[in-house]
Structure 1
Amino acid sequence: MNDRTDVYAVGGALFKAWYDLSIQVEKSGLEKSLLELIKIRASQINGCANCLNMHTSDARKAGETEQRIHLLCAWEEAPCFSPRERAALDWTDHMTQIATKRAPDHVYAALAHEFSAEEQVQLTLAINVINGWNRLAVGFRLYNPALGWAA
């Protein structure tokens, strides 16, 4: 039983706008597999069980391998990620932990090498969206019962 506010029930127009933004970012044109990787990575950093459950499931449905999903927590050492994915994951780490990691020039340079200016904005908005969902899910203990929990 969750005794916290039901954001879906009381969020109103503001919550609908947030949800609509999420859908628009999802349709931005970035690869579905890349979006799922950054959602999983940000959710790992933020400790969001609901989002990890959801996005690992979505990644599998999109064809992501178990190996790559498991190696996301050590992506810097794992050789199975492309340069484009590595740039996105590094940017995700820095944007998710911006208070301590900031956005150093070398991280941005790698991002700019792999992503167009438009894609950089799309990716950064996607990172912001998943971080927002993580905060909503952790703060309000959101849970998607359709995904279930392993016993």
Structure 2
Amino acid sequence: MTARMPNPAIVAGPEVIPALLGVAGAVKNTGVPEATINLIYLRASQINGSSWNVHKHAADLKAAGESDERISTVAAWRETPFFTPEERAALALAEAATRLSDRQGDAVSDEVWAEAAKYFSDQQLAGILLATGLSNLWHRLIPTTRQAAGPVAG
């Protein structure tokens, strides 16, 4: 696969990457466990078919000490014993927020929201939503411009 252009977040100007990294840093300060945030990043990347992001976030999880079982089964988290109830609630919310157009009416059901709200404060829910939104932003940039999976440039 040949990239259509360099990463648009770099091409757009020198202030874009620091701004996006600033949002990512702020997400880390919302009280959501870092492992949960990284699982959200990986799952949203899988849903959106962003090979660059799947590769990156799987590597990030591995570097953070996550088990191969958890990394390799994120796409099937409902059918595995490797995730906590809190992680399951966060993944369900992230999936619903990523697949907004897959549902008629209420894109994120009351049941999904209530389950997440059992485990997370409003600040943490905001962190989950910001992580999901940021991840989905990258998934609009990276696949559209055909950025290949592999080492991060620069």
Give TM class, smaller chain: 0.7 to 0.9
What is the TM-score normalised by the length of structure 1?
Answer: 0.87
Give CA deviations for 1:55-88 in whole Å, capped at 9, x if unaligned: 0000011111111111111111112210000000
How many residue pairs align between the two structures?
148
Secondary structure in structure 2 of the residue aligned to 1:139: coil
- Checking the alignment, whether the CA contact within 8 Å between 2:116 and 2:125 is kept in structure 1 is yes
Tell me the residue number matched to 1:113.
118
Secondary structure in structure 2 of the residue aligned to 1:138: coil
Higher relative contact order (CA 8 A, sep 6+): 2
* AA in 2 matched with 1:119: Q
Deviates more, 1:8-17 or 1:124-133: 8-17
* Structure 1 residue ranges, 4+ long, deviating more than 3 angstroms after superposition: 26-29
From 88, 91, 116, give the equivalent of 1:89. 91
Cα distance, 1:30 vs structure 2: 2.0
Distance 1:123 1:8, change over 3 A: closer
In the alignment, structure 2 segments of 5+ residues that lack a partner are none
Secondary structure in structure 2 of the residue aligned to 1:79: coil
Tell me the residue number matched to 2:13.
12
**Of Structure 1 and Structure 2, which has the larger fraction of its residues in helix?**
1
Secondary structure in structure 2 of the residue aligned to 1:99: helix
- Residues 1:23 and 2:25 aligned together: yes
What is the root-mean-square deviation in Å for CA atoms of aligned residues?
Answer: 2.1
Deviates more, 1:104-113 or 1:134-143: 134-143
Give CA deviations for 1:9-58 in whole Å, capped at 9, x if unaligned: 43126624334323332343321111111111000000000001100000
Distance 1:105 1:8, change over 3 A: closer
Aligned residues: percent identity? 31
